[in-house]
Structure 1
Amino acid sequence: MSTCHTETSPNSPSLLQNGNLVFQAHHVGWIIAGFFTVTAVITSFWLVNKHLQWYTNKREQRYIVRLLFMVPIYAVISLASYLFWNHSTPLLLIRDAYESTVLTAFFYLLLTYLSPNLEDQKAIFMKVGLSRAADAEALAKGEEPKRWMFPLGFIKSKPADGLYFLQMMKWGVLQYCVIRPMTTLAAVIMNYMGFYCDGSFSPRHGYVYITIIVSISVSIAMYCLIQVYVPISVYLGPHQPLLKLFAIKAVVFLTFWQTTALGVLSMFGVVKDTTYMTAEDINIGIAALLETFEMMVFAFLHLSAFSYKPYRPFHDPKSKAAPPTPTPRLRSLGNALDFRETFREIGVGLIYIWDKLHGREPSPDMGARRNAHYESAFGRPRQSNLPLNKRLGENEQSDTEKGLLPTPGIQSETREDTPWLQLDRYGRREKSEGLEVQIEKELERRGYGSRMCTSVYL
Structure 2
Amino acid sequence: MNLTCNSTLEEMMISPGSEVKIAGPLNFHDLARIIAAGSTLISVVLSSYLIWMHATHYTQPREQRFIIRILFMVPVYSITSFMQIQWYWHAIYFNLLGSCIEAFVLASFYGLICHYCAPDLHTQKEFFRHLHPIKPWVMPINWLAKWFGGEKGPWRTPKSGLTWFNIIWISVYQYCFILVAMTATAVITQHFHKYCESSNSPVFAHVWVLVINAVSVTIAMYCLIQFYLQLTTPLAEHKLFIKILAIKLVVFLSFWQSAIISLATSGLNLVHANDVLAYPDIKVGIPSLLLCVEMTLLAVLHIWAFPYQIYRDNAGRRAFYPDSDPLKPNASPIEKRWGQPSGGFLGIRALMDACNPWDFVKGFGRGMRWLFVGVKKRKQDVSYMPGNRHDDNLRMDDMQGIKSADPSPHFAALQDPTLTQYHGIQGGVKAPDESVGLISHAQPNPLAGAASPPSAYTSTNPYRPAYADDPVYDPPPYGGAAASHPYESPSIPRPSRSGSSPSGRH
Same-fold call, TM > 0.5?
yes
Is structure 2 residue 469 aligned with structure 1 residue 421? Answer: yes
Cα distance in 2 for residues equivalent to 1:2 and 1:348: 41
Q: Is the aligned partner of 1:327 residue 2:393? A: no
Matched-pair contact (CA < 8 Å) for 1:352–1:362: no
Structure possessing the higher radius of gyration over alpha carbons: 1
- Secondary structure of 2:202 counterpart: coil
Matched, 1:210 2:209: yes
CA distance in structure 1 between the aligned counterparts of 2:51 and 2:384, rounded to whole angstroms = 36
CA distance in 2, matches of 1:336, 1:54: 14
Question: Hey, what's the Cα distance between the residues in 1 that align with 2:205 and 2:116?
Answer: 40
- 1:4 maps to 5
Partner of 1:149: 138
Structure 1 segment 432-451 matched on structure 2, within 5 A: 435-436=501-502
Cα distance per residue 1:97-126 (max 9 Å; x no partner): 111100000011011111214344333323
Deviations 1:191-228 (A, max 9, x none): 11111111421111111111110000000000111112
Change (3 A) 1:308 1:420: closer
Q: CA deviation at 1:325?
A: 6.6
Equivalent position amino acid for 1:327 in 2: G
1:360 aligns with 2:374: no
- Identity over the aligned pairs, expressed in percent? 30
Residue pairs, 1:102-117, within 5 angstroms: 102-117=105-120
Distance 1:224 1:421, change over 3 A: same
Q: Which residue of 2 aligns with 1:283?
A: 283
Deviates more, 1:201-210 or 1:345-354: 345-354
Residue aligning to 1:306: 306
Listed one character per residue, the Cα deviations across residues 318-352 of structure 1 (whole Å, up to 9, x for unaligned) are xxxxxx77731111111111222222222222222
Number of matched pairs: 380
Counterpart amino acid of 2:66? Y
Indicate conservation of the 8 Å contact 1:30/1:83, yes or no: yes
- 8 Å contact from structure 1 (residues 114, 236) kept in 2: yes
Deviation for aligned residue 1:255: 1.5
| Matching of residues 36-435 of structure 1 within 5 Å | 36-128=39-131, 146-154=135-143, 155=145, 156=150, 157=153, 158=156, 159-267=158-266, 268-274=268-274, 278-313=278-313, 327-328=343-344, 329-356=347-374, 359-361=376-378, 372=394, 374-377=396-399, 421-422=469-470, 430-431=496-497, 435=501
Bigger mean CA deviation after superposition, 196-205 or 93-102: 196-205
8 Å CA contact 2:77–2:295 kept in 1: the answer is yes
Contact 2:474–2:496 (CA under 8 A) maintained in structure 1: no
The structural deviation recorded for 1:374 is 2.5
Deviations 1:161-199 (A, max 9, x none): 211111011000010010001000001111111111114
Give the CA deviation at 1:377. 3.2
Amino acid at match of 1:118: L
Kindly indicate whether the alpha-carbon contact (under 8 Å) linking 1:129 and 1:166 is maintained by their aligned counterparts in 2.
Answer: no
Residue type of the alignment partner of 1:421: D
- Asked if the contact 1:78/1:92 (under 8 Å) is kept, the reply is yes
Contact 1:199 1:264 in 2 (8 A): no
Alpha-carbon contact 1:128-1:232 (below 8 Å) kept: no
Aligned residue type for 1:64: I
- 1:39–1:296 Cα contact (<8 Å) kept: yes
Partner Cα separation in structure 2 for residue 203 and residue 419 of structure 1: 81
Q: 1:213 to 1:420 in 2, by over 3 A?
A: closer
SS of the residue corresponding to residue 373 of structure 2 reads helix
Q: Offset at 1:275?
A: 5.2
Q: Distance in 1 between matches of 2:49 and 2:225?
A: 29
Q: TM-score, normalised by structure 2?
A: 0.68
User: How much does 1:382 deviate?
Assistant: 5.4
Alignment match of 2:32 (pick from 24, 29, 34): 29
Q: Which has the higher helix share?
A: 1
AA paired with 2:343?
T
Q: Distance in 2 between matches of 1:433 and 1:281?
A: 96
Shift of 1:59: 0.2
Root-mean-square deviation over aligned CA pairs:
3.4
> How far off its partner does 1:313 sit?
4.6
Q: Matched residue of 2:232: which SS?
A: helix
The separation in 1 between residues aligned to 2:88 and 2:471, in whole angstroms, is 84
Q: Quote the Cα distance in structure 1 between the aligned partners of 2:357 and 2:140.
A: 33
Residue 256 of structure 1, CA deviation: 0.9
Of 200-209 and 182-191, more deviation after overlay is shown by: 200-209
* Residues 386 and 265 (structure 1), Cα distance of their counterparts in 2 relative to 1, 3 Å cut: closer
Secondary structure class of the residue paired with 2:469: coil
Distance across 2 between alignment mates of 1:223 and 1:193: 35
Compared CA separation, residues 9 and 129, structure 1 to 2 (3 A): farther
SS in 2 for 1:204: coil
The answer for the alignment partner of 2:436 in structure 1 is none
- Determine helix, strand or coil for the equivalent of 1:56: coil
C-alpha displacement of 1:366 = 6.1
Secondary structure, in 3 states, of the residue corresponding to 1:360? helix
Give, in whole Å, the separation in 1 of the partners of 2:57 and 2:261.
42
**Hey, what's the Cα distance between the residues in 1 that align with 2:48 and 2:384?**
40
Aligned partners of 2:78 and 2:292 also within 8 Å: yes
Residues 113 and 424 of structure 1: is their aligned pair in 2 closer, same or farther, counting only changes over 3 Å? same
Equivalent AA in structure 2 for residue 360 of structure 1:
K
CA distance in structure 2 between the partners assigned to 1:386 and 1:287 by the alignment: 50
Cα deviation for residue 361 of structure 1 reads 4.8
Change beyond 3 A, Cα 1:165–1:341:
same
Amino acid at match of 2:141: L
Deviations along 1:116-141, one digit per CA (max 9) or x if unpaired, are 143443333234368xxx6xxxxxxx
